[in-house]
Amino acid sequence: MCNEQLEVQFGAIGYIISRPKIYKLLACQVPKERIHFGKKVLSMENGGNGVLISFSDGTVAEGISFAARQNLYAKLLKDKKLAPSDALPLPFTTVCLVGQTRVLTQDEFPDIALEESRFRNHVGEKKPYAVMEYVHDRTGDCVLDMHSVSYGGNKQRNDAFRNSGWGPEAAQTMATQVRDFPVVSGGDKKLTLGDLIDWTPKEFMSKAMQEEKVFKTWYGCRTVLIGDACHKFNLAGGVGAANAMHDAIVLANRINGLPFHPTAQEMEDVFQEYKDESHDLVKAAFNASKVHRTMAGQHIPEWVFHRIQVQATSCHPQAAFLPLVEDKGTYKPLGQPSLSVKSPIENEYEVSSIAQAV
């Protein structure tokens, strides 16, 4: 679907943004003391006044961490409060090598000159590899974003990859196996995945295991999960990051409505409201990503693709505490209960105004 059609139907055009750019954008909005790099989490304790995280270097911090689910689930399992399915090993069918090239020139990769971004999916014939190639930004941020390897459910092979390394060395080892895979550059010059790998800084390349599951347990006491921590999608659908952002917006709206000194029970009530609002949308996105993964390399019927597109783009929640964006698309956005949540200050002002009117 072209940008003109997207703007008419959904009110906005599509954009591709590289991970380093979005990380930088997000980091600019968060106080530096809230972000910890090079830390290994040892434990996380829920208390009446907050969450305390202990790191391997002896330091501590208040907040949450990437290991939040593991720590939370361990405690809930011990207290017999964890859903049985959430205690099972995570299923996965795909191992991915992801990377972003350095700035490329038009001579190196002709499609850099195109006005609109390009997305291409290549599936190896009689090979367990599929390459997804994203080309974007005429200023030169050309990217091959990933290739994936599907193992279909071979448990022995999956366990071998689960136990293997996931650092830069592991990424380089995997890269050597796929260097000859051809890619489309838009010109007469024949390029392979090896060319893109050579143009990719080692720190911008990593190997990842793609697990797929929607968890039943999303919170406990003052700890709440969003994004991959509570629902993990296959990359094929391209909906993981979007749904994580949707979670963050809905949760922020709910938290914004809490009293200034909430109790643990009030926090859990808000977390349940957040889950109730997001869960059905997450399940739909999860099923759509499975369709894309299953049909990789095949022709997806236009009506199926359009239905998935409508489902994915009709959900665009807004922050209740920021100026709202006017929706101009022919497809109206889905309902958003959390948009009506008011902050304690707004509630006090409303009560005061009513009292004065009386």
Q: Per residue in 225-235, pLDDT tens?
A: 999 899 998 77
Measured between alpha carbons, how far is 249 from 257 in angstroms, rounded to an integer? 13
Q: Which of 188, 211, 234 is the last residue of a domain?
A: 211
Measured between alpha carbons, how far is 295 from 298 in angstroms, rounded to an integer? 5
What local confidence, expressed as pLDDT, does residue 351 receive? 55
Judgement on whether residues 287 and 329 belong to the same structural domain of the protein: yes
- Which residues 6+ apart lie within 8 Å of 310 measured at CB? 9, 331
Measured between alpha carbons, how far is 288 from 234 in angstroms, rounded to an integer? 10
Residue at 358 is within a domain: no
Alpha-helical (H) ranges within the chain are 3-10, 19-27, 68-78, 155-162, 168-176, 193-198, 240-256, 264-294, 302-313, 344-357
Measured between alpha carbons, how far is 152 from 109 in angstroms, rounded to an integer? 33
What local confidence, expressed as pLDDT, does residue 325 receive? 87
What local confidence, expressed as pLDDT, does residue 240 receive? 85
What local confidence, expressed as pLDDT, does residue 246 receive? 93
Q: Which of 211, 237, 262 is the last residue of a domain?
A: 211
Q: Are 48 and 264 in contact (CB under 8 A)?
A: yes
Judgement on whether residues 78 and 216 belong to the same structural domain of the protein: yes
Measured between alpha carbons, how far is 247 from 227 in angstroms, rounded to an integer? 7
- The pairing of strands 143-150 and 129-135 is antiparallel
Residues in the chain where the model's pLDDT stays below 70: 1-3, 16, 44, 46-51, 62-67, 93, 122-128, 136-169, 294-300, 348-358
Judgement on whether residues 116 and 140 belong to the same structural domain of the protein: yes
What local confidence, expressed as pLDDT, does residue 62 receive? 67
What local confidence, expressed as pLDDT, does residue 230 receive? 93
Judgement on whether residues 54 and 185 belong to the same structural domain of the protein: no
What local confidence, expressed as pLDDT, does residue 149 receive? 44
Domains of the chain: total: 2
Q: What is the pTM of this model?
A: 0.74
Range(s) of the domain holding residue 291: 3-89+212-340
Percent of the chain predicted with pLDDT > 70? 76
Judgement on whether residues 219 and 322 belong to the same structural domain of the protein: yes
Residue at 189 is within a domain: yes
CATH of the domain at 287: 3.50.50.60
